[in-house]
């Protein structure tokens, strides 16, 4: 790629950069344009002001639910945690939805504190796994996963959104991590690196410790999901388009038996 010197107003520079990277090839070889998410303090304040916490508690687990999508700004210090929490308090008071939202901000703060205390130690298992995670973990993600071509529409669509926009919904992150760690036995590090590379909010603490939380090396049990969970929170349209045998179509006891015994 030829690099050129770009100057002008912020908007002009943003337009130029978007032009340079439009059609940049993603991991899957497909053309990927600039992310629809706009950076900068001005955009962050608009997004914060637009965010309504009403219904957050009940809908945040659904892919189409009312999440804030403020993580990019928070991650890069464009918005402060306190500032975000206070904006919600002023506009919506101490409602149940506000409390649930603050709890999530609390998770972010908690991961940061753990990272602050343990530093690079979070790059290794913090506790023994509570279940059999397998061994001989992969150094590289299998190509069909990176390219979103596993045939499992739910997983492929999560990867597509990640690569194209730099965002993945929290529940999708949990499904994807669980799929890689528990269904594919690839280990958590290889998936952690993949997400970190693509997420606009990629953060060593929130990302690394969440992967360990799913794996059960920083939680008391592994995170598992099944087809019913995907359909309830992601909708049925993925399953309707899927043409491969679903590894998630089972009850939780059945999955535990199959994956961990």
92 is in an annotated binding site: no
Q: What's the closest the beta carbon of residue 172 comes to ligand FAD, in angstroms?
A: 8
Structure tokens at 4: 């050129």
DSSP class of residue 119 equals G
Number of neighbours of residue 66 by Cβ within 10 angstroms: 17
Binding residues among 177-206 for ligand FAD as defined by CB under 6 A: 177, 195, 199, 201-203, 206
Per the DSSP assignment, residues forming a β-bridge with 32 are 24
21 is in an annotated binding site: no
Binding of ligand FAD by 67 (CB under 6 A): yes
Binding of ligand FAD by 39 (CB under 6 A): no
Structure tokens at 254: 């059945």
DSSP class of residue 217 equals S
Q: In this structure, are residues 172 and 179 in contact, taking their beta carbons and an 8 Å threshold?
A: no
Q: Which is nearer to ligand FAD, 15 or 100 (CB)?
A: 100
Q: Which is nearer to ligand FAD, 35 or 170 (CB)?
A: 170
Helical (H) or strand (E) element with 63:
none
Cα distances (Å, whole numbers) of residue 47 to 118, 166, 187: 33, 16, 36
Q: Which is nearer to ligand FAD, 62 or 130 (CB)?
A: 62
Binding interface with ligand FAD (CB under 6 A): 60, 67-71, 74-75, 104-105, 107-108, 111, 170, 173-174, 177, 195, 199, 201-203, 206-207, 210-211, 214
Residues belonging to the binding site for FAD are 56, 101, 201-203
């Amino acid at each position: 790629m030829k690099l050129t010197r770009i100057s002008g107003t912020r908007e002009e520079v943003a337009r130029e950069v978007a032009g340079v990277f439009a059609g940049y090839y993603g991991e899957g070889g497909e053309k990927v344009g600039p992310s629809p998410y706009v950076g900068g303090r001005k955009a962050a304040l608009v997004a914060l002001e637009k965010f309504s916490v009403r219904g957050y508690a009940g809908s945040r687990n659904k892919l189409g639910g009312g999440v804030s999508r403020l993580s990019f700004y928070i991650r890069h210090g464009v918005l402060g945690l306190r500032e975000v929490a206070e904006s919600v308090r002023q506009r919506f008071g101490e409602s149940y939805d506000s409390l649930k939202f603050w709890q999530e901000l609390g998770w972010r703060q908690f991961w940061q504190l753990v990272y602050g205390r343990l530093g690079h130690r979070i790059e290794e298992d913090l506790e023994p796994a509570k279940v059999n995670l397998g061994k001989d973990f992969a150094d590289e993600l299998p190509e069909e996963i990176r390219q979103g071509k596993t045939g499992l529409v739910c997983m492929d669509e999560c990867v597509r959104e990640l690569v194209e926009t730099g965002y993945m919904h929290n529940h999708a992150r949990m499904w994807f991590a669980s799929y890689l760690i528990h269904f594919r036995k690839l280990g958590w590090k290889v998936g952690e690196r993949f997400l970190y590379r693509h997420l606009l909010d990629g953060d060593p603490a929130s990302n690394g410790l969440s992967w360990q939380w799913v794996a059960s090396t920083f939680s008391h049990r592994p995170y598992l999901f099944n087809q019913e969970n995907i359909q309830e929170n992601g909708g049925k349209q993925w399953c309707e388009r899927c043409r491969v045998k679903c590894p998630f179509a089972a009850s939780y006891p059945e999955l535990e038996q199959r994956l961990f015994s």
